[in-house]
Amino acid sequence: MRKTWVQFAMIVLLFAGGVPAGAFEVNDAHYHLTNYVQRGPTAKEMLDRMGTVVGRGVLFGLPVQQKWDYTVSGDQAPTYYLHSDAELYYYSFTDAIIAEEFRRLTPAEQKRFDPMITGFNPTDMYAVDHIRRCLLMYPGVFSGIGEFSINKEFVSAKIAGGVASLKNRAFDAILNVAAETGLVVLLHSDISSIISPLGDKPSYLDDLKQAFKAHRDTTIIWAHTGLGRAVKPTKDHVRIIRGLLEDPELSHVMVDISWDLVAQYVTQDEQSLRDWSVLINDHADRFLFGSDAVAPKDQNAYLKTYRDYEPLWKNLNKAAVEKVKRTNYERAFDASKKKVREWEKKQLAGK
């Protein structure tokens, strides 16, 4: 009976915006409000999915739209990038959708979300103009950039307008504007191609390290530790991640363990679970949880990845669990939000 009354009290406080941060179990550094055709729950509906489990979460859609090409799929309307051979294209209006969703929330509800700018083409030198424009058109809204992709299995080759690259100066410019404004960056870049020409050595690893080291003033969250649907962890993956985290020139880089597929890799057997647990316990300040849910239809769907990680939570020490689930998120996004608001204020005062 007592537990029921406690839960009821939390729900009342939740809707009043008065639940202390410690009352929630986890924060979510990576999920998508909308799917590949820009459909999904509203931000208010997302609060129901978060419930009293998820305290804070990022707020972004998907930067690309799956084209419904009638000559390819006829009357079958694709809603996912693997549903059609038709191309994807960058959909900049997603940022306006996110901003307007955020602005419909009450001030108490807004505290639960950290909106991100993602609707830009990372091969375009004008991408930085889009990012600055979003901040100045919607001051007080955005806290970060992403999730945006550079090397992404199956997806990169489908996007119209050229393949993004870690070596493109437009990518450098995006990370530079993030440093200038204080925006935290959530980057998806696979650690390797699907079939690496370098054998066991991840084909993009050197380029990733070089790009990260060139932008030490930018807070970067590397999505999925570089893994994907076909880019599976090699026997050396945990050792490689450890090397990155122990490199003093990469102290500005954090990694998220989002996606239920990554949870499967981590917990697939006792050895894998042990290796990851030791790594995360040793570098607990550098990991964040993320669900990578895409337009979740209900709370069960939204919390799937979180539940899948239950074996990991049980294997981490108490301090590590607290950091990965909650405080690393708060540290990164609270710092970003403060810097961005200061940048916006200075820019708007100068107009």
φ, ψ of residue 79 in degrees (nearest 5): -125, 5
> What is the model's pLDDT at position 2?
47
- Is residue 10 assigned to a domain? no
Query: Averaged over 257-281, what is the pLDDT?
Result: 98
Count of Cβ atoms closer than 10 Å to residue 148 Cβ:
28
- Is residue 15 assigned to a domain? no
Per DSSP, what are the bridge partners of residue 113?
57
- Is residue 12 assigned to a domain? no
The CATH number for 130's domain is 3.20.20.140
- Is residue 2 assigned to a domain? no
φ, ψ of residue 299 in degrees (nearest 5): -65, -35
Cα pseudo-dihedral 156, 173, 259, 254, rounded to 10: 150
Averaged confidence pLDDT in the chain: 92
> What is the model's pLDDT at position 19?
52
Count of Cβ atoms closer than 10 Å to residue 297 Cβ:
12
- Is residue 23 assigned to a domain? no
Region of 139 on the Ramachandran plot (φ > 0 left; ψ -120 to 50 alpha; else beta): beta
pTM, two decimal places: 0.92
- Is residue 302 assigned to a domain? yes
- Is residue 219 assigned to a domain? yes
Over the stretch 5-59, which tens digit does the pLDDT of each residue have? 545 545 555 545 445 656 899 999 999 999 999 999 999 999 999 999 999 999 9
The encoded tokens of residue 238 equal: 């945990």
Look at the chain and report how many structural domains it folds into. Answer: 1
Which residues are within 8 A (CB) of 126 and not within 5 positions of it... i.e. 6 or more apart? none
> What is the model's pLDDT at position 3?
45
CA angle 301, 329, 338 (to 5 degrees): 130
Single-letter amino acid, residue 334: D
Cα separation, 151 vs 303, whole angstroms: 27
- Is residue 89 assigned to a domain? yes
Over the stretch 119-178, which tens digit does the pLDDT of each residue have? 999 999 999 999 999 999 999 999 999 999 999 887 887 888 888 999 999 999 999 999
* Domain around 94: 29-349
Over the stretch 76-115, which tens digit does the pLDDT of each residue have? 998 888 788 889 999 999 999 999 999 999 999 999 999 9
